[in-house]
Amino acid sequence: MALDRISEEIAHFAGLFHLEIEASKLRLDYESFRVKADETKLDPLKQDPFAGKHDLKENKLKTASKAKDQPEETPPPAAPKMAVLAPLDSEPASQSAAPVEADAPVISILSLAGITITGTMVEIMPNSIVMAIAQTAFLADNDVLMFEGIADFTDPALFLTLLQDLGELAQTLTLIDPWIWGPGDGDVLIAAKKMAETMAQAEAPEVEGLTTVILRGEDAEGIIINGARVDEAPTIEDLMPTFLKPEEETEETPIASDGVTDHDPGPFAVDPGHAVVTGGNRVINETVLKSVWVDAPVIAVAQDVLRLDVISQVNLRIEASDLADQTAPAPSTSLNIAHLEQTSSVAVDKNAGKMGENQEDGLPSFWNVTRLEGDLMLMNWVQQHIFTTDYDQVEVKFSGAATYIGTGENLVFNETLILNLGFHYDLIMIGGGMVTLNQITQVNVLLDQDKVDGAVPAGASLHAGDNLQLNTAAITTTGKDSLSDKPDHFSQAMNDLANGAKTISADVAQDAMFAGNAALNVLYISGDLIQTSVIEQFNYLGDSDQIHFIQDMFSSAAGSEVTVTSGSNAQINAASIVSEGLDSTVMAGGEAYSDALIYQAELIDDCAPPAGVQMDKLANEAVAFLVDDMIAPAPVDECGPGIQIDDSPGTVDVMQTMLA
C-alpha cells in the first residue's frame, strides 16, 4: 500500500538515521564503498552519503582518499604521528599537546554522526535539533438507534455548539500562552525575558466559580495536586472509572442454567442480563520528551543565563443526569497533577563516589577545542488536539434473554515519544547567552449531560457520572546548576575565542576545577545555547446521551439484571519533559535568572450529590462565549437539568446556573 507524503518522509529519515548510527560504529562488516572526492554534500537522492573510500579489515584503518595536489602513489609512512585523547582514568600520554609536523600525514574520518578524528584531536561536533509536531484527532460518534421512533430527542447539534463554546471559554482560562520563537524573531534572550515578565505579572482570571492556584519559584517545586502538595501522585490506573478498570481474575461462580445463555456461541457471546453502554469513552493525549543533550560540569557564558519552567492546567466540566428513578450519579473526578523537580546528577549516580579513586589529582595534560559557529539549538514543539463527540440517541427494547447495546466505548488518542541525544563535554564556553525553557499547557473540557426516561425496568442499575478528568504534567531535570563568578582568565579565553582563537590557554585548561582529568574536551559556541520544550494538549469530549426505554411486550427483562452506563469516561492529558544532564558550575557574564510557575484551575458545574459544585453566576467575559438565546434561564435555586433549550422539549442542560 502506498504511503502518504508525510509517512514517506518519516521512513526516509529513519533510514538515514540508521545509516548514521551504523557509520559511527565503524563496524568491520561494512561493504566497500566509493564516492567522488569533490562531492561531499549529503544528498541521498543523487550520491552516496560518504566522503571517502575506506577499507576496514582486520582492525586496520586505511584511507584511500587523496588530495588532488598529491602524487597518485604516495607510500604511507611507517609510523604516522597521532595524538589521541586518553581515557579519563588513564595516564597522560604526553606532557603537552605539541603540534603535528607539517610533513606528517593527517588521518581523517568524517562520520555522519558528527565525530571527526584527526591526527591532532578527536572532535565531537553537536548538531542542532528543531522539531515541530502537530497531532489532531477528531471523532463524531453520534449514534441513533430507533425501534419505534416514539422518543422525543433533542437535536445533538445544540450539544455540539455548547461544547465548542465551552472550549473557547476554557482557552481563555489558561494563564500564559505557549512560547513560540524562531531565529527570524530576533534575539532569543529578549524573547525569553519577555516570557519571564509575563510569568511574573500573571494573575488568575476573575471568573465566578473558577478555582485557581498559582505557585511560583520554590513553592512550585515538588508534586502538586489541585493546589496541594503531596508526597506521591496516584497512578492513572487507580483513578480510572470503575467501568474502564480491568476486571480482576477471580474464580468463576457457577450460574444456574437457563437453557439459553449458558453456551458459548463464539467471539460475540453476550453476558447474561441486559446492558446498555453509551459512555465508557477514553480520550488521551500523551507526550514524553526526553533529552540527554549537550552539557558539561563547567559552563562559561558571555551574556545572560535564563531558565524558565511553566505548567498550566485547566479542567472544565459540565455534568448532569436526568434519570427516571432519580438515582444519584456517581461522583466524578477532576485532577490537575503537576510535578517540578531538579535532582543532582551525583545523587543518582551510584558510581559518583568512586570516580576519583583510580585517578590522580593532576591537571589535564592536553586538551582540544571544538568550535561551533552560530547558535546551538534543541527545540521541540508538540501540539495535540482531540475533539470527540458521542451524542447518542437510543431507544431500548429487549426482546431476548440477553442483550448488549453498545454505542460508546471509543478510544481516541494522540501520542508522541521523542528522545534527543547529544554529547557531554568537560567545558562549554558560550559567546552569547544560555536559555532553557520548558512549558506544558493542558486543557480538558467535558460535557456530559445524560437523560434516561421511558419504561425503565424495575430494579435497573443506572450508572451515570463517574467520569475522570486528568491533567498530569512533569518537568524533571537531572543535574543542578550553581552560579559562580567568572575568573579573569576565563573571560580572556572567551574574548580570544570570539576573535578567532582555535584553542584555550593553559591557565584555563589546567584550572583547579579540572583536577583529576587527564584530558579536556571543550566546546565553544559563538552564538547562543538554546534548549526549549513546549507541549500543548487540548482535549474536548462531549458525551450527552439520551436513552428512552420502550415497554417490552414479552417482559423478557423481568427478573434479569439491567444496567445502563451513560458516563464513566476518561479524559486524560499526560505530558512529561525529562532532561538528564550533569551538575554544572555556570559562570554568567550577564544576568542569571530562573523562575518556575504552576497554574492549576478548574471550573465545574456538577449538581449531582454528593460532591457537586454549583456555579450561581459567571463573569460577563465568560458568558460572552455562549451562544445568544441558546439557553433559557431557570430558577436559581433549581439544581439539575431544569432548563429548556429553545425549540426542544427536552431538559438536558445545567448551564442555567451560569446564566441565572
**Which stretch of DSSP H or E encloses residue 659?**
helix 656-659
Per-residue pLDDT at 261: 52
Check whether 250 has a pLDDT greater than 90.
Answer: no
551 within 8 A of 458, measured Cβ to Cβ: no
Listed range (3-17, 232-246, 502-516) with the worst mean pLDDT: 3-17
pLDDT band per the 50, 70, 90 thresholds, residue 385: very high
Per-residue pLDDT at 211: 94
Interval 8-45: pLDDT, tens: 677 766 777 676 666 655 544 444 444 444 444 444 33
Per-residue pLDDT at 534: 97
Q: How far apart are CA 360 and CA 355, in angstroms?
A: 11
Per-residue pLDDT at 24: 59
Give the residue, 494 or 182, on which the prediction is more confident.
Answer: 494
Q: What is the DSSP string of 401-439?
A: SEEEEES---EEEEEEEEEEE--B-SEEEESS-EEEEEE
Give the residue, 99 or 139, on which the prediction is more confident.
Answer: 139
Check whether 374 has a pLDDT greater than 60.
Answer: yes
> Exposed, middle or buried: residue 137 (CB in 10 Å: 0-12, 13-18, 19+)?
middle
The set of residues, in sequence order, having a beta carbon less than 8 Å from that of 462 and lying 6+ positions away, is 323, 324, 325, 327, 452, 456, 563, 564, 566
Per-residue pLDDT at 393: 94
Three-class SS of residue 148?
coil
Per-residue pLDDT at 548: 92
Per-residue pLDDT at 402: 83
Three-class SS of residue 535?
strand
Which grid coordinates belong to 58?
A: 582486520
The predicted model scores a pTM of 0.74
Please report, for residues 154, 196, 217, 416, the alpha-carbon distance to residue 309 in angstroms, rounded to integers and kept in the order given: 45, 10, 9, 20
Interval 43-75: pLDDT, tens: 433 444 334 444 443 443 343 343 444 444 444
pLDDT band per the 50, 70, 90 thresholds, residue 642: very low
Average pLDDT over every residue of 133-153: 92
DSSP designation for 295: B
Give the residue, 34 or 183, on which the prediction is more confident.
Answer: 183
Average pLDDT over every residue of 507-531: 92
Check whether 591 has a pLDDT greater than 50.
Answer: yes
Q: What is the dihedral of CA 136, 383, 127, 51, to 10 degrees?
A: 10
Q: For residue 276, how many C-alpha atoms fall within 13 Å in the half-sphere facing its CB?
A: 26
Taking the mean position of all CA atoms in its chain, how far away is CA 522?
32
The set of residues, in sequence order, having a beta carbon less than 8 Å from that of 75 and lying 6+ positions away, is none
Listed range (235-244, 284-293, 586-595, 617-626) with the worst mean pLDDT: 617-626
Residue 17, phi then psi, degrees to nearest 5: -60, -40
Among candidates 569, 539, 604, which has minimal Cα distance to 391? Answer: 569
Residue 241, phi then psi, degrees to nearest 5: -55, 155
Per-residue pLDDT at 22: 64
Taken as a whole, the chain contains a residue count of 660
Category of 266 on φ-ψ map: left (φ > 0), alpha (ψ -120 to 50) or beta: left
Among candidates 445, 441, 412, 451, which has minimal Cα distance to 163? Answer: 445
Interval 100-125: pLDDT, tens: 333 333 333 333 334 444 444 456 68
Which grid coordinates belong to 607?
A: 449538581
Three-class SS of residue 443?
strand
Could you tell me whether strands 333-343 and 222-225 are parallel, antiparallel, or unpaired per DSSP bridges?
Answer: antiparallel
Category of 195 on φ-ψ map: left (φ > 0), alpha (ψ -120 to 50) or beta: alpha
Average pLDDT over every residue of 357-384: 84
Three-class SS of residue 61?
strand
Per-residue pLDDT at 185: 86
Interval 397-453: pLDDT, tens: 887 778 889 999 999 999 999 999 988 999 999 999 999 999 999 999 999 999 998
Per-residue pLDDT at 327: 72
Among candidates 508, 30, 586, 45, which has minimal Cα distance to 301? Answer: 586
Residue 496, phi then psi, degrees to nearest 5: -65, -45
pLDDT band per the 50, 70, 90 thresholds, residue 650: very low
Per-residue pLDDT at 597: 96
Average pLDDT, the chain: 76
In 214-330, alpha helices (H): 236-239
Please report, for residues 196, 200, 220, 340, the alpha-carbon distance to residue 215 in angstroms, rounded to integers and kept in the order given: 15, 11, 5, 11
